């Protein structure tokens, strides 16, 4: 028989799989779509504007998702970044900022969508009558996780750590010389993220932002 903690972790993985896959895939598709609208067809030409998960899956990102699902408390992962050529943009600085923001914005919209689904579930199948039903519990947890995971992905990607989206937005408002020096940190960005994750500092930084945003969505949509 599975250890209770392992059983709980596997349950977390199962309910988080669909919300996270949607979150990371739509995040990248949003970048590619925004880039196309700003004049860069690279992602579209390479077949990345699709909901088919195969072109988007990053083995390491998927591994981190499984690992964080089994160990907690913060579940996340990532897909392959869509290829973007800023030289095709009409305004490199402005369009880079817009394309970068498109990904996190999509995650926040997706979190809102899951909040609406959760509200509909509770309205159509009241908690008092359906709680304890296996299927109801699964979808309740999946929709709830969809809100939390996508809010987390949105805020995570807005962190100003190269190469995350937030760094490109910050780069756009910095003076050119300082912005160039700042983006040189990109070679260390992944190492820094792993250190923040392993030490628990990532959760410490993101938790207040996630908590406030999730509470806002629940009070405005789910519990209204």
Specify the 3-state DSSP secondary structure of 35.
Answer: helix
The pair of three-digit structure tokens given for residue 40, joined into one six-digit string: 């860069």
C-beta atoms surrounding 67 within 10 Å: 14
For residue range 36-82, list pLDDT tens digits in order. 999 999 999 999 999 998 899 888 888 877 777 666 666 777 889 99
Q: What is the DSSP string of 13-60?
A: HHHHHHHHHHHHHHHHHHHHHHHHHTT--HHHHTT-SSS-STTTB-HH
Neighbouring C-beta atoms of residue 207, cutoff 10 Å: 14
- How high is the pLDDT of residue 193? 82
Mean pLDDT of 122-129: 86
| DSSP three-state, residue 79 | strand
Mean pLDDT on 80-98: 95
The closest alpha carbon to 79, from 45, 16, 31, belongs to 31
Quick one: pLDDT at residue 156? 92
Higher pLDDT, 199 or 175: 175
Residue 2 has pLDDT above 70, yes or no: no
Q: Residue 7: its pLDDT value, please?
A: 72
Q: With a threshold of 0.75, does the pTM exceed it?
A: yes
Q: Is 129 part of the annotated catalytic residue set? A: no
Of 21, 22, 28, 149, the catalytic one is: 28
Average pLDDT over residues 133-155: 92
């Amino acid at each position: 028989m599975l250890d209770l903690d392992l059983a709980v972790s596997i349950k977390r993985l199962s309910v988080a799989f669909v919300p996270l896959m949607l979150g990371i895939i739509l995040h990248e598709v949003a970048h590619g779509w925004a880039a196309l609208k700003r004049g860069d067809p690279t992602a579209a030409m390479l077949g990345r504007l699709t909901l088919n998960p195969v072109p988007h899956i990053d083995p390491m990102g998927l591994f981190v998702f499984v690992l964080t699902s089994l160990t907690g408390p913060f579940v996340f992962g990532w897909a392959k970044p869509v290829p973007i050529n800023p030289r095709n943009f009409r305004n490199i600085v402005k369009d880079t900022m817009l394309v970068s923001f498109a990904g996190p914005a999509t995650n926040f919209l997706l979190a809102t969508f899951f909040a609406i689904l959760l509200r509909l579930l509770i309205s159509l199948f009241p908690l008092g009558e359906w709680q304890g039903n296996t299927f109801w519990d699964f979808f309740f947890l999946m929709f709830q996780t969809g809100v939390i995971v996508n809010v987390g992905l949105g805020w995570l990607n807005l962190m100003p750590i190269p190469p995350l989206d937030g760094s490109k937005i910050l780069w756009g408002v910095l003076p050119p010389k300082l912005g160039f020096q700042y983006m040189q940190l990109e070679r260390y960005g992944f190492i820094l993220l792993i250190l923040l994750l392993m030490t628990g500092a990532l959760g410490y930084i993101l938790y207040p932002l996630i908590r406030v945003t999730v509470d806002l969505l629940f009070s405005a949509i789910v519990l209204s």
